[in-house]
Structure formats: C-alpha cells, structure tokens
Amino acid sequence: MISNILIALAVVVLLFVIVVATRPADFRVTRSATISAPAEAVFAQVNDLRKWGAWSPWEKIDPALRRTFEGPSAGIGAIYRWVGNKKVGEGSMTITESRPGELVRFKLEFLRPFKATNTAEFTFKQQGNQTVVTWGIFGENNFMSKAVGLFMNMDKMVGGQLEQGLAQMKSVAEAAGKS
C-alpha cells in the first residue's frame, strides 16, 4: 500500500518535472501606446530615470518606496535602485543603450522577492505628430520561473502594469507638450 503511494507520488513528481522542462526557455512581454508628442519628448521621459516617478506604475504601488540614483542623470550608465514593500521588492535598472528618439534599453535586476536579471526596453517610432512607444521586458526562464508560469500568467501580470505605465506616460508627455 505505502509502496504504491510512493510510486504514484514519484510518477506525479516526474510528470511535473517533464511538463515544467518543456515550457519556453524565455519570455517576452510587450505593450504599445500612441502618444501625441514628438519622439524626443517621450524619449526624455524614459531616458532620465528621475522622471519615472511621474508615470511608473510601481511608484504608485508603494508610496514609501526608497529610491537612489547613481551615475549620470540620463543616458547610458544611469542607475535607479529601489527598495520597497513586498509588491515592489528590491532591485535596480541600469541604462545600457540609449539612442535619442529611438531606443532606451535597461539591465533590470531584481533582488527580492525573487532574484532575476532581465532586459527592458522602450522603442519610439515617430508617426506624424505622434509617437508609438513600445515597452518590453524579456529574459530567460529558469526551472523555477517555468514552474511558476504554470500557475501565473506573466503576460497578464506584467502586461497590465506596462499598460498602466504607458497610459500615465501618455498623460505626462502630452501635458508637457502643451505647456
């Protein structure tokens, strides 16, 4: 009887490991928004990390968020570090690539609630008097993140926050363009 239970448990664990191992090796979550402002103005909202407080969705989740800045105020080498509540966690982002009006790419490091290193990027495409901004986060899935992905949808979780941030950025950038 006990040996049958142990065999059944071993089979369930083995099946779980096989299913997790077959999950995608990487992830990508992207969202886009059209903003009625020039690409350079929208780019400035992202490239200067001190401006994130006005539109970043994570700034609103933890009003007591502690943040520090290092390196240049904007562009390659600019660093933003945060320590927040359990919903925001702790980590840093460093601008690794910056092309005015086109692209800002970050190394995104999470320390807690889980350790992970990913890439985030914003692209800007001028279309007439508007700019299409695409915000993406991508990286590799280790075994643990593959397992978590069975129960939590990364695209739904993070995608909603990206949408919220882009909507807030739209309000900020369009208001700045009117003044």
User: What CATH number should be reported for the domain holding residue 95?
Assistant: 3.30.530.20
Provide the angle, in degrees to the nearest 10, between the axes of the packed helices 39-47 and 154-178.
120
Domain contains 5: no
Q: Are 110 and 91 in contact (CB under 8 A)?
A: yes
Measured distance CA(134)–CA(31) in Å, rounded: 6
Please enumerate in sequence order all residues whose Cβ is within 8 A of that of 16, keeping only pairs 6 or more positions apart, or say none: 147
- Per the CB < 8 A criterion, the answer to whether 83 and 65 are in contact is yes
Domain membership of residue 154 (yes or no) is: yes
Query: What does the block give as tokens for 119?
Result: 């890439």
Domain that holds residue 96: 26-178
Structural domain includes residue 128: yes
Q: Does residue 62 form part of some domain? A: yes
Output the tens digit of pLDDT for each of the chain's 179 residues. Answer: 788 787 777 777 777 667 666 676 677 789 999 999 999 899 999 999 999 989 998 888 888 889 999 999 899 999 999 998 888 899 999 999 999 999 999 999 989 887 889 999 999 999 998 999 999 998 876 656 655 666 666 777 778 888 999 999 999 988 876 65
The answer as to whether 41 is a domain residue is: yes
If one counts the domains in the chain, the total is: 1
Does residue 10 lie within any of the structural domains?
no
Tokens of 150: 């069975």
H/E element holding 121? strand 116-127
